[in-house]
A and B are shown apart, each in its own frame.
Chain A
């Protein structure tokens, strides 16, 4: 029972990340008609926003180490601590959540530059061309990050106060020993919050209404004389920010390295396909569903019956869905079927 609860939480957690990446991916599909193989790289860039922000905050200088009295010792101390004392220490401690504020403008800028500079020119090109050029871009982004940050994963601690585990068992009146990392709970809540925000934005703003109309029938929207160009840029920017935020908050769970984007890209494509190309609800549903499936498949009880199932479950589901129901769970007819 406890094991199952843990697996459910693990699955929802992973699912949250999948859903966030897939949300942006399917938004770009649906509105811009672009297959973006560099979307995983944007997730990775988000995680490295957290790394970079942490580096900036901990920009240090050499100061005399007062704690050592019998000889002159020096230690590295961040400027922030020198200037603001304990407040500085606290800020550094909270660098991951704070880097959200840093990541939003940075990712938005990256998204806008990418759309204006490259993606725009590929609206009318074949899907194969889009896949190829964004695949090239993904390699370029990934290699740039490796050049500056190296090849090794960089651990990013969550804030001290939530670095431990939540006494989940005690809270729910179950087994006292049942605990779960605080940060993972926060990630789950965060992903739900962002998903909610994106849906609310699309549902309740005029801009969102036009975007949804565009996903349903692009030509008509263009005929109405609405400036789709500008909206495309903004939609792409939003997709970039969502992927970036998913990455920022994932940094304490999985230490960022330069190729994490590729690993997540393949998975999130599968998520998008399973959910149904161009269906936002489908992407979220499929994200959580596949996260749960993957989590359950990695249980020892399951693995002993079907060895290796945890490694391939997602791809297996994707293949079956594509062959049996090519539109995915919630996809509409005719989307990307040409």
Chain B
């Protein structure tokens, strides 16, 4: 039965949609059902799902994908300023523009592989970041960040006779304000896009195209002698993942019409790598798991402070309570990044396949324990299709 569910796309999509759309309900017990966080889950989920199409399928480790996120945000804000506050054109334009940048950056970076590829993407990302802060200030508004204002032309809105009379205009989708329903509307817009994004990723994973990408990761030399020109395959994967990042960036700006260069910093690129790896590189659902966990704990941990810790450990005797607070406090609040770094290291050292690998092990273990025995086909099949390999990166192509 399990195998059947995994093999059927409509069933997977049905379950996936149900889980995503009902997130405000089932996340309530975790205290994570407020719109701000839910939106982050969905948007960064899209980012990670797209990144996984490049890194997970081809094994090419890009350290510059936040660039496309930033470009998407800037494009969307410009669309709000010049065209309309409707988010649909903004999002479409965000994807197109980041896609175009991805074509150029990808074409150049993919001339090399391995660590050289990583450094090339990093160099392009740093260039974009530095330029956004300096020369491109007329476009990016430098350190202040790009914002919408009442005086913006908004040609399409003006033509439709929509005028903003009080304060800064708000984003909408054909009239329905994104921030309406206390922000839940924004979440549902992002959630629907996440479902579409996930569906496309699922199709790619299970298409001949996806299998070829995986074959490139496994043995690029063999791929060439098998009669494939690997460059266009890699470039396509790069551009698709760049467009996903652009979509995520456009959505970020749609929720909050603001774009800043810090979104393009290389630590932001590092974060998406981390989300993908934590969940399980090359698996369908892993990157989403990773994103949800990281954004959730970021939210919880970074908000904690010493007095809250004291109340958390208040059941302990005072001496022990103080010790616990002293031990824990470096890891929360400002120290959240310390926890993040440690988790990162632990995952890479002990569980290179991420949470999905852990779950697969657990599943096998339970099965043996229960004594289902017999064939291991389900797991083997999963391993072959959707679960990680032990190595994160396997391309052997020439540099």
Residues on B with beta carbons closer than 8 Å to the beta carbon of A132: 273, 277, 344, 348, 392
Are A133 and B59 CB-contacts (below 8 A) given A273-B116, A319-B120?
A: no
Q: Chain B interface: which of A58-66, A121-129, A193-201, A238-246?
A: A121-129
User: Closest CB-CB distance, B334 to chain A, in whole Å?
Assistant: 7
Residues of A within 8 A of B119 (CB): 269-270, 273, 318, 322
A135 at the interface (CB under 8 A from B): yes
Instruction: State in angstroms the CA–CA spacing of A127 and B112 once bound together.
Output: 14
Interface contact B348-A136, CB-CB below 8 Å:
yes
Per CB-CB distance, the 8 closest pairs between chain A and chain B, nearest first, are: A308-B135, A139-B341, A128-B393, A136-B344, A337-B399, A143-B338, A311-B130, A136-B345
Which residues of chain B have C-beta atoms less than 8 A from A126's C-beta? 391-394
Residues of B within 8 A of A121 (CB): 349
Residues of B within 8 A of A223 (CB): none
Instruction: Given A128-B118, A144-B330, A308-B136, output 19 extra A-B contacts at Cβ < 8 Å.
Output: A125-B391, A129-B352, A132-B344, A133-B344, A136-B343, A142-B337, A143-B338, A262-B267, A269-B122, A270-B123, A273-B116, A308-B134, A311-B130, A312-B126, A316-B127, A318-B120, A323-B111, A326-B399, A337-B398
Chain B neighbourhood of A270, CB < 8 A? 119, 123
| Cβ contact within 8 Å between B126 and A315 | yes
Find chain B residues with CB under 8 A from A72 CB: none
Chain A residues whose CB sits within 8 angstroms of the CB of B114 once the complex forms: 127, 336-338
Which residues of chain A from 223 to 266 have a CB within 8 Å of any chain B CB? 262, 266
Q: Are A312 and B131 in contact (CB under 8 A)?
A: yes
A326 & B337 in contact (Cβ 8 Å cutoff): no
- Name the distance in Å between B260's Cβ and chain A's nearest Cβ: 17
B399 partner residues in chain A, CB cutoff 8 A: 326, 336-338
CB distance from B217 to the nearest CB of A (A): 11
Cβ contact within 8 Å between B344 and A336: no
- Within the complex, what minimum Cβ distance (angstroms) separates B117 from chain A? 9
Are A140 and B341 in contact, CB atoms less than 8 angstroms apart?
yes
Inter-subunit contact B115/A139 (CB<8 Å): no
Given A128-B59, A137-B341, also A311-B124 (CB < 8 A): no
**B residues near A137, Cβ cutoff 8 Å:** 341, 345
**How far apart are the CA atoms of A338 and B392 in the complex, in Å?**
15
Q: Mark A264-277, 1 if CB is under 8 A from B, else 0.
A: 00100110010000
- Complex interface bits, A178-200 against B, C-beta within 8 A gives 1, otherwise 0: 00000000000000000000000
> Is B61 an interface residue, CB under 8 A from the partner?
yes
**B interface SS class:** helix
B231 at interface, CB cutoff 8 A: no
A152 → B minimal CB distance (Å): 13
Which of A307, A319, A338 touches B124 (beta carbons < 8 Å)? Answer: A319
**When chains A and B are docked, how far (Å) is the Cα of A131 from the Cα of B341?**
13
Chain A residue numbers with a CB within 8 Å of B59 are 128
Assess whether A45 is interfacial by the CB under 8 Å rule.
Answer: no
Interfacial chain B residues near A312, Cβ < 8 Å: 126-127, 130-131
Q: List 21 A-B contacts (CB under 8 A).
A: A35-B115, A125-B391, A126-B392, A128-B393, A129-B352, A133-B344, A137-B345, A140-B338, A140-B342, A142-B341, A262-B267, A266-B266, A273-B116, A308-B131, A311-B127, A311-B130, A311-B131, A319-B108, A323-B111, A326-B399, A336-B116
The winner among B59, B119, B344 for most chain A CB atoms within 10 A is B119
Cα(A319)–Cα(B387), bound, Å: 35
Is A55 located at the chain interface by the 8 A CB criterion?
Answer: no
CA distance A270 to B123 in the complex (A): 8
Chain A residues 318 to 338 lying within 8 A of chain B, measured CB to CB, are 318-319, 322-323, 326, 336-338
Give the chain A neighbours of B342 by CB distance below 8 A: 136, 140
Contacts of B277 in A (CB 8 A): 132
Chain A residues positioned under 8 Å from B120 (CB to CB) = 318-319, 322-323
The answer to whether A135 and B270 touch (CB under 8 A), given A121-B349, A127-B393, A338-B396, is yes
Known contacts A131-B61, A143-B338; is-contact A307 B135 (Cβ 8 Å): yes
CB-CB contacts below 8 Å: A123-182 with B: 125-129, 131-133, 135-140, 142-144, 146-147
Nearest Cβ distance between residue B203 and chain A, in whole angstroms?
A: 26
Contacts A136-B342, A312-B131 given; indicate if A323 touches B108 (C-beta within 8 A). yes
B340 at the A/B interface (Cβ < 8 Å)? yes
The complex places the Cα of A247 from the Cα of B119 at a distance, in Å, of 23
Contact B330 A147 (CB under 8 A): yes
Task: Please indicate the chain B residues that have their CB under 8 angstroms from the CB of A323 in the complex.
Answer: 108, 111-112, 120
Chain A proximity mask over B259-286: 1 for CB below 8 Å, otherwise 0: 0000000110010010001000000000
- Is A131 within 8 A of B115, CB to CB? yes
Q: Which residues of B are found within 8 Å of A131, using beta-carbon distances?
A: 61, 115, 118
On whether the beta carbons of B115 and A336 are closer than 8 Å, the reply is yes
| Chain A residue at minimal CB-CB distance from B135 | A308
Nearest-CB distance from B114 to chain A (Å)? 6
Whether A146 contacts B118 by the Cβ 8 Å rule is no
In Å, the complex CA distance between A337 and B341 comes to 29
Interface centre among B115, B126, B130, B396 (most CB of A within 10 A): B115
Chain A residues lying within 8 Å of B131, measured Cβ to Cβ, are: 308, 311-312
- Bound-state Cα–Cα, A172 to B267, Å: 46
Asked if B133 is an interface residue, CB under 8 A from chain A, the answer is yes
Decide yes or no whether B182 CB sits under 8 A from chain A.
no
Q: Does B232 count as interface, using CB distance less than 8 angstroms?
A: no
